[in-house]
Amino acid sequence: NTGTYPGRKVRMTEITAPKSPVTAEQFADEIREQLKYTQNVTTEQATPADVYVAASKAVRNHLADSWFKTQADTVNGNTKAVGYLSAEFLMGKQLRNALLNAGLTEQFDKAVEALGFKVQDVVDAEYEPGLGNGGLGRLAACFIDSLASLGVPAFGYGIQYKYGIFKQEFDKDGKQVETPDYWLANEEPWGHIDYNRDQKVSFGGKVVENADGTKTWQPAWSVRAVPVDYLVPGYKSGRVNTLRLWSAKSYDEFDLLAFNRSEYMEAVTPQVKAENISKILYPEDSTKVGKELRLEQQYFFVSASLHDAIRVFYPGQDKPDLTTFPNKIVFQLNDTHPVIGIPELMRILIDEYGYDWDTAWSITTKTFNYTCHTLLPEALEVWPASLIGELLPRHLEIIEKINAQFEDELKSKGVDKNTIKDMAIYTGDAVRMAYLATYGGSHVNGVAELHSQLLKDVTLKNFSDVYPDKFTNVTNGVTPRRFVKLANPRLSDLITEGLGTDKWLSDLEMLKGLEPLAKDDEFVKKFAAVKKANKVDFAAYAKREYGFELDPNTMFNTMVKRLHEYKRQSLKILSVISTYADIKSGKVKAEDVTPRTVFFGAKAAPGYYLAKMTIQLINNVSRVVNNDPDVKGKLAVYFPWNYNVRLAQHLIPATDLDEQISQAGKEASGTGNMKFALNGAMTVGTLDGANVEIRERVGAENFFLFGMTVDEVEKKYAEGYNPASYYEADPRLKHAIDMVADGTFSNGDRNAYSPLVADWLTKDWFMTLADFSAYMDIQSEIEALYADELEWNRKALLNVANSGYFSSDRSMEDYLERIWHTAPLAD
Ligand code: GL2
């Protein structure tokens, strides 16, 4: 048995009641103590960064007893735990969240001041870990927050990448430049590295058949997976779960013989090879990558996690009864990235614990469930069989056998030959991970109603025909603790005032109680004042961080998300160009213009050519517009670089109008849309992803809908889409594209954007041009409403009141009921 430690007890034995919260004076003493004994600096010598580390360790200490108790109850209780397997956890900064959940926010603020520091400086010293690309990774972070807050025993399992998502900068031409994000450059107080609970993960080699017919995998090389544990404190639940991120280390740190031959580089080669596995987060988002290292990463964290769960739930047992495994823990596969876990659990059960195939299959299928997060066919992972064969030869055999069994099952169900071929998990050349996940787990879910429907009707249609009961929906959600309470304290206070309680933070549907207050002009004015104050705050933040001069008296109009063609940042920038042209030419009278500040935030995958060109275009539109005296005070465009969770927490509460304008049928859910609605922004959006459900709940009259539906999009593809005809038909569109082509935004260089322009006019796969007119038309409606401040804010308040459904607590309850069939721990 690789890497587990028979006979060793799990450490979670000490059960004590959580420490009672302390006074500010006591907390200041705790920080002093940390400064002295762990930072080894005097309070006088300390920098804000020292105080940040010391305070973080002090908060962590307050959570320790609840953490031990939760671990003990998780192992000893009868409640099945959840294992959330995810290649990404985009956690955001930890300190404020930990303080909130430990009940120490006020004590911290006072203590820091008493120590002679500015709270802002101390909080700013925390560096945000970027261990995710976007929505999928942030969703995982919201989910583990909610599980802890609900008191459900859960482990997040992932990778502690040394380098997170790249840092984005812009060069003088407005092009994106990626620089490495070495987030561990300074002391990181949250992760506890636990060398004593490591796991061995092996690769390569060959499979030999034994005399008794069993198989033995003889791997060629192994790495040491060392867990780094992060506390996941629940909000007012008294529970603290664990996020366990694996870090890869070498077993052969150093080749002394090579070193003695003066081959210094060679001496560390094995170490470099091993540590490469957890070196870097892949910066692709919803696109296919065929990197060997990526498969190594996936297998690395999944294998370590499965072995870890066996260690945790069967402490010290040499021959555990793993038929009870699915009663101990249920694993959620966050997209296809961890799907290699299915053959890995089969291998563990058969090769390491001696179970027969059928027993192993029964355990495995009960253990896993799969969430699909995409509708883009190219984002469903497919691995070359040759690669799996080289890296994981035993797993390839198991996958082949799973596929053979699957074909037999389909035959017995009367599925025809061609369909069986279409459904193959293993094609002979390749392994389709989404199909393996669908067959190998109990449930498959999409992440919004529309998405789940399209999965059944299109993407996984054959599977839903044969296994209709496997398919379900769980609409995404976001944590109100981080994205309302921490991000928007003013709104939180107003909500609490309006409802007469702060219980809404753990029961977000209570926001419905604000609905009657939308009729109360005085309350609506207070709500408007909150937004205004947030805009003033954001202007100060943007000045400090980016040097921008913002006018908080303009409409703040925001589009933040990864840069992807299907999300259609192009549509937004073309509309901005068109508005710019109209104001400049005097076509729109100065007094009729609604002054706007447009914000973009987006990273493009480093190899995504058109996405990067779109970034360059936006930056140059910004340069031209912001320097043109003709539109001053009417229109401004800003692109704060390096969009991340921190920036989201500042910008979302300050936004009046949010853009969710993807082509219908492409955005699986979106979660930014939920954050904006909860923070009182109005949305302009298409009928895509969770927009559909947001609109249903907040009311069609409180949502700016435009554009083609999924059916209309499909019809247009079928008829043959000709983008140039839209260019010819709408003079506003023609003019905007012509300005991009004629060098207006490239100092006269007509070639700068020609690939982008050519794509728009000849391909335009996501039909930006076809939706342009509808998009421009809805803007007039938006501006008319915005002119009536009271009505605008009334509607925005109704968005808040009706967005309670989009709490990730509700998502978790849906998973518990529909998929995991487990519950919170008993007290
Ligand atoms: C995504 C989807 O694109 C997005 O619509 C969804 O909200 C999130 C979370 O379910 O998942 N899929 C994906 O691969 N990424 C996403 O953000 N990166």
Q: Mean per-residue pLDDT for 348-368?
A: 98
Do 309 and 155 contact (CB within 8 A), yes or no?
Answer: yes
The CB density around residue 43, as the number of other CB atoms within 10 Å, is 16
Name the residue of 447, 661, 688 to mutate for ligand 1: max ligand atoms within 8 A of Cβ. 447
Q: Mean per-residue pLDDT for 452-464?
A: 98
Single out the catalytic residue among 249, 531, 568, 675.
675
Using a 6 Å cutoff on CB, does residue 477 contact ligand 1?
A: no
Q: Residue 346: left (phi > 0), alpha (psi -120 to 50), or beta?
A: alpha
Looking at residue 472, its amino acid is T
CA-based end-to-end distance of the chain: 35
pLDDT on residue 340: 98
**Would you call 562 a catalytic residue per the annotation?**
yes
Single out the catalytic residue among 57, 485, 535, 562.
562
Alpha-carbon span 27 to 824, nearest angstrom: 31
Look up the CATH superfamily of 480-806: Glycogen Phosphorylase B; (3.40.50.2000)
Using a 6 Å cutoff on CB, does residue 138 contact ligand 1?
A: no
Using a 6 Å cutoff on CB, does residue 668 contact ligand 1?
A: yes
Question: Would the pLDDT of 311 be above 50?
Answer: yes
Contacts with 461 (C-beta within 8 Å, 6 or more apart), sequence order: none
Give me the chain's average pLDDT, please: 95
Using a 6 Å cutoff on CB, does residue 476 contact ligand 1?
A: yes
Using a 6 Å cutoff on CB, does residue 672 contact ligand 1?
A: no
pLDDT on residue 812: 98
* Helical spans, DSSP H, in 151-268: 256-260, 264-267
- Taking the CA of residue 286 as reference, the ligand 1 atom at the shortest distance is 14
Ligand 1 geometric centre to CA of 602 (Å):
14
pLDDT digits (tens, 9 = 90+) for 467-476: 999 999 999 9
Alpha-carbon span 330 to 363, nearest angstrom: 11
Of 520, 554, 523, 519, nearest to 536 (Cα)? 554
> Strand 368-371 relative to strand 444-446: parallel, antiparallel, unpaired?
parallel
Tokens of 528: 């408007």
> Strand 444-446 relative to strand 471-473: parallel, antiparallel, unpaired?
parallel
Q: Where in the chain is the domain with CATH 3.40.50.2000?
A: 24-475+813-820, 480-806
pLDDT digits (tens, 9 = 90+) for 732-779: 999 999 999 999 999 999 999 999 999 999 999 999 999 999 999 999
Using a 6 Å cutoff on CB, does residue 189 contact ligand 1?
A: no
Do 281 and 137 contact (CB within 8 A), yes or no?
Answer: no
Ligand 1 geometric centre to CA of 671 (Å):
8
Ligand 1 geometric centre to CA of 184 (Å):
26
Least confident stretch, 145-149, 208-212, 269-273, 709-713: 269-273
Using alpha carbons only, what angle is made at residue 647 by residues 645 and 648, rounded to the nearest 5 degrees?
60
Single out the catalytic residue among 96, 337, 535, 567.
567
Alpha-carbon span 577 to 625, nearest angstrom: 9
Question: Would the pLDDT of 288 be above 90?
Answer: no
pLDDT on residue 9: 25
pLDDT on residue 266: 82
Alpha-carbon span 735 to 165, nearest angstrom: 37
**Would you call 675 a catalytic residue per the annotation?**
yes
Q: What is the dihedral of CA 739, 741, 745, 746, to 10 degrees?
A: -150
| Angle formed by the axes of helices 789-801 and 768-787, nearest 10° | 110
pLDDT on residue 488: 98
Alpha-carbon span 245 to 260, nearest angstrom: 35
Q: Residue 205: left (phi > 0), alpha (psi -120 to 50), or beta?
A: left
Please state the three-class secondary structure of 118-179 as a single string.
CHHHHHHCCCCCCCCCCHHHHHHHHHHHHHHHHCCCEEEEEECCCECCCEEEECCCCCEEEE
pLDDT on residue 14: 34
pLDDT on residue 626: 98
pLDDT on residue 259: 77
pLDDT on residue 481: 98
Query: Which band of pLDDT confidence, cut at 50, 70 and 90, is reported for residue 15?
Result: very low
Using a 6 Å cutoff on CB, does residue 822 contact ligand 1?
A: no
pLDDT digits (tens, 9 = 90+) for 552-582: 999 999 999 999 999 999 999 999 999 999 9
Using a 6 Å cutoff on CB, does residue 689 contact ligand 1?
A: yes
Do 228 and 193 contact (CB within 8 A), yes or no?
Answer: yes
Domain 24-475+813-820, CATH: 3.40.50.2000
Do 188 and 661 contact (CB within 8 A), yes or no?
Answer: no
Ligand 1 geometric centre to CA of 730 (Å):
33
- Taking the CA of residue 285 as reference, the ligand 1 atom at the shortest distance is 18
Q: What is the dihedral of CA 136, 141, 142, 147, to 10 degrees?
A: 120
Q: Mean per-residue pLDDT for 620-625?
A: 98
Ligand 1 geometric centre to CA of 180 (Å):
23
3-class DSSP state of 114: helix
pLDDT on residue 19: 54
Using a 6 Å cutoff on CB, does residue 688 contact ligand 1?
A: no
Do 84 and 143 contact (CB within 8 A), yes or no?
Answer: yes
Using a 6 Å cutoff on CB, does residue 673 contact ligand 1?
A: no
| Angle formed by the axes of helices 105-114 and 95-102, nearest 10° | 120
3-class DSSP state of 286: coil
Using a 6 Å cutoff on CB, does residue 374 contact ligand 1?
A: yes
**Would you call 561 a catalytic residue per the annotation?**
yes
CA 100 to chain centroid, in Å, comes to 22
Using a 6 Å cutoff on CB, does residue 395 contact ligand 1?
A: no
Question: Would the pLDDT of 85 be above 50?
Answer: yes
Exposed (0-12), middle (13-18) or buried (19+): which is 119, by Cβ within 10 Å? middle
Ligand 1 geometric centre to CA of 506 (Å):
25
Query: Which band of pLDDT confidence, cut at 50, 70 and 90, is reported for residue 11?
Result: very low
Do 208 and 154 contact (CB within 8 A), yes or no?
Answer: no
- Taking the CA of residue 374 as reference, the ligand 1 atom at the shortest distance is 12
pLDDT digits (tens, 9 = 90+) for 578-602: 999 999 999 999 889 999 999 999 9
pLDDT on residue 287: 66
Contacts with 241 (C-beta within 8 Å, 6 or more apart), sequence order: 70, 144, 147, 148, 153, 154, 155, 156, 231, 232, 234
Query: Which is higher by pLDDT, 1 or 637?
Result: 637
Ligand 1 geometric centre to CA of 161 (Å):
20
Using a 6 Å cutoff on CB, does residue 746 contact ligand 1?
A: no
- DSSP states of 564-603: -GGGTHHHHHHHHHHHHHHHHHTSS-GGG---EEEEEE--
Single out the catalytic residue among 373, 394, 485, 732.
373
| Phi, psi dihedral angles at 314 (to 5 degrees) | -130, 60
pLDDT on residue 442: 98
- Taking the CA of residue 671 as reference, the ligand 1 atom at the shortest distance is 7
Name the residue of 138, 281, 286 to mutate for ligand 1: max ligand atoms within 8 A of Cβ. 286
- Taking the CA of residue 371 as reference, the ligand 1 atom at the shortest distance is 10
- Residues of the chain above pLDDT 70, percent: 97
- Residues of the chain above pLDDT 90, percent: 92
Name the residue of 282, 373, 375, 812 to mutate for ligand 1: max ligand atoms within 8 A of Cβ. 373
pLDDT on residue 427: 97
Name which residue sits closest to atom 12 of ligand 1, judged by CA: 373
pLDDT digits (tens, 9 = 90+) for 52-84: 999 999 999 999 999 999 999 999 988 999 999
Using a 6 Å cutoff on CB, does residue 369 contact ligand 1?
A: no
Do 168 and 603 contact (CB within 8 A), yes or no?
Answer: yes
Single out the catalytic residue among 561, 634, 646, 794.
561
Do 90 and 10 contact (CB within 8 A), yes or no?
Answer: no
Tokens of 33: 């103590």
pLDDT on residue 2: 26
**Would you call 373 a catalytic residue per the annotation?**
yes
Contacts with 197 (C-beta within 8 Å, 6 or more apart), sequence order: 5, 227, 308, 311
Using a 6 Å cutoff on CB, does residue 667 contact ligand 1?
A: yes
CA 673 to chain centroid, in Å, comes to 13
Question: Would the pLDDT of 392 be above 80?
Answer: yes
Ligand 1 geometric centre to CA of 285 (Å):
8
Tokens of 209: 């058949």
Name which residue sits closest to atom 17 of ligand 1, judged by CA: 135
The CB density around residue 614, as the number of other CB atoms within 10 Å, is 25
pLDDT digits (tens, 9 = 90+) for 341-354: 999 999 999 999 99
- Taking the CA of residue 476 as reference, the ligand 1 atom at the shortest distance is 10
